[in-house]
A and B are shown apart, each in its own frame.
Chain A
């Protein structure tokens, strides 16, 4: 019997034009939490997809409990005792939660699905992991964080030997993350090993026993977590010394108010209510809060994507009402949405198309586009923002997350906005690219633009914002100055729930 429950050795995998994995190894001990870290595009997800049978490896060997296995589909992986929590949640929205959980292995009575048994099993499972959700409600009605917890419960229900968690906390609040950690420890106690992929260093050091680091599709090394520090991990990930996660903030906001929001209320009672704030020229105003604080809803309403029940938005001392995105654009607003993949990029269109798409009108005469000018602008802006792409004709989906985000920033800069609204500008982006995006942001405010930045990462808020507005349950619970803010004070405001 091997010392390891899972051994992956010399795994290679290539896609047309890309060597995604090159001779990567991963060894996981039973009952341990093994963190897998690396920049985006380092190949973590690809490696896990090879393990879970979504991709088929080109070469290398996988051994489970010392026995060599060939995994060619997910069902096989599940049967072998490997389950996976996927990075992106796509539940079957119109079907009950319980059907989402037991899909592929419904309890049966004769030829019929045993609904009663399914409800009972779901209840028992939820009890075990401490979830209070009705098994029969459609999955689409759950909040993203609850969906994530259901997904975790589902993975636990397979009684697997190995559970892969691909960024399980990206939509969880701190409390829920703590809850997840409790579940993980329970799984560990049952001898289950967890492979934990995350970008959040604090979490990794807190929960994991061992850390394997990958870089550019290659294996860097494995260390006991106790011997590592955040800086050490980052250094190994990027392969260079990164003394600072944030560029020095040497900007100061002006006095002039460019955007004022007064008593803005959503028509939905559980969304944002009575929100007021001011944004100055050259200022980065951070908006902090936990998941469900209605921050995205607020900025989308300002941008004309959602309706407003009452309140005013005043820009450059003029009251204006935004009815559509077109209006917002004309008033000099720009919004980078939270879900880059879903609402940001056009995956199969070229980088060029993606860059100029918000600005087409300017390149057209009588509806016919001027290709030369489009290409020129796209070239200029992508060079200015240091977008790494083989060419402007490359399909957007093949760029890394950080480069996609830079293209999106470029897209909106071409519309020449005064105010940029950035919703989670660095979510799912690796450390190096984050730094570049922070530099771009500072550059912009130096040029007199103002930025409204929604972020769930506290270090980001503290490192980048001039002031931090904290929301909880749709209300503003406080606006902190950069100097007086720290993690504790933000957290206190973010959890100021109504009694």
Chain B
């Protein structure tokens, strides 16, 4: 198979996208405004399809403009290396599969096209994404964090227990005054970070495999959380009556439609992207994951980096737990059960290698979104939860198999 790299002038390439983007935006905008003008040019049967056309159009347009203006930085020519259709398909197989699934869902149930569905999916992905972004650090050094789910539960219980309405009958701390929202949140995250420190210490100091170190911590956290949860007068009753200002942290809706969780998750994603790609810490994470020995002899402080990884992961899990409590306006000690496995699955599907050293933030975002879209879509068309499980499992296996096939070359 000859590897001919096709080349195309970047100007032409950019114009192509600008044209398509412009046409889509124009059509989308026309259709959208036609409705507000009282003369809808399209049938209500397609719901918010014009909006999607508009959004995709604008995105493509921006991409085209970016390509056009970044001429110098990216080079005058675009080359399509290994430009066979097969490798292209393999590279984006997940996206194609997702598109097919979405189209099938839409055909069965066109209401899936509502914009609110998308906002819902984004909101549901947010907390999962925050947890997955924490776990990805541990995966990048060929480790894992099994304690993440229990940390979610711990942070949820701690924060909810201190942020109940004064009028609520069965308060966790009957005599606790109304503290600023930030205090219990910080406390909850700090508690998780303590356990994160324990994780890091076990791994970095004793060279324990993260699988077993975090398994031990997971069990300890659940025990500790249950003890706390069982304290009188609560005695293992689900915590409710959560203050409105705390609830707003996750339930507030921007423009009345978009959950506040979406911009929060976006912010966390940007920060993590920066940390991974632009800081010494992030580069050291990749280095340790790629080859610990080389990192050691290059003078990287492996101990500190591993500590940092687990503490950061625990902080994000804790933050996710706080948001989970706020979103559901309550907490029990069983919150977060199994979240770590969902997060690991999402990372793997998004191209993070469990062998360490390989993984991108964009992949994790896609991985998390894929899971939510599939779950939401299957629910939407009434597929039974049992079948959903089977489909989810198949997707994990197939997605990772496809991802690995990129590396298997003889």
Q: Give chain A's interface residues, CB within 8 Å of chain B.
A: 52, 54, 73-75, 78-79, 84, 86, 90-95, 99-100, 103-106, 108, 111-113, 115, 267, 269, 306-307
Contact = CB atoms under 8 A, between A and B. Distances in A.
A392 to B, nearest CB: 30
Counting chain B CB atoms within 10 Å of each CB, the highest count among A75, A84, A103, A105 belongs to A103
B297 A108 contact: no
Contacts of A78: 298-299
Report, nearest first, the 9 A-B pairs whose CB atoms are least far apart.
A92-B290, A75-B299, A104-B299, A104-B298, A103-B298, A112-B278, A74-B297, A92-B291, A104-B300
Nearest to B280: A106
A54 B279 contact: no
Interface string B198-237: 0000000000000000000000000000000000000000
Interface of B: 1-2, 274, 278-280, 282-284, 286-287, 290-291, 293-301, 357-358, 410
Given A93-B290, A94-B358, A99-B287, A104 B295 contact: yes
Contact of B283 (A52, A54, A99, A267): A99
Nearest to A112: B278
B357 A92 contact: yes
B410 A103 contact: no
A103 B357 contact: no
A341 B3 CA distance: 33
Instruction: Identify which of A84, A95, A99 gathers the most chain B CB atoms within 10 Å of its CB.
Output: A95
A202 to B, nearest CB: 29
Contact of A103 (B2, B278, B284): B284
A75 B297 CA distance: 7
Contact of A113 (B283, B295, B299, B410): B283
Contacts of B294: 90-92, 100, 103
A99 B283 CA distance: 8
Nearest to B359: A94
B283 A106 contact: yes
A40 to B, nearest CB: 20
Contacts of A103: 283-284, 287, 294-295, 298-300
A90 to B, nearest CB: 5
A283 to B, nearest CB: 30
A54 B296 CA distance: 9
User: Most chain-B CB neighbours within 10 Å: which of A84, A113, A267?
Assistant: A113
Given A74-B298, A104-B284, 16 more contacts: A54-B296, A74-B297, A75-B300, A78-B298, A92-B287, A92-B291, A99-B287, A103-B283, A103-B294, A103-B295, A103-B299, A106-B283, A108-B280, A112-B279, A113-B278, A113-B283
A74 B299 contact: yes
A444 B283 CA distance: 52
A46 to B, nearest CB: 15
A103 B298 CA distance: 6
B300 to A, nearest CB: 5
Given A112-B274, A269-B2, A86 B291 contact: no
Contacts of B2: 269
A201 B127 CA distance: 63
Nearest to A140: B290
Most buried by A among B2, B278, B282, B294: B294
Nearest to A84: B297
A90 B295 contact: no
Contacts of A92: 286-287, 290-291, 294-295, 357
Contacts of A74: 296-299
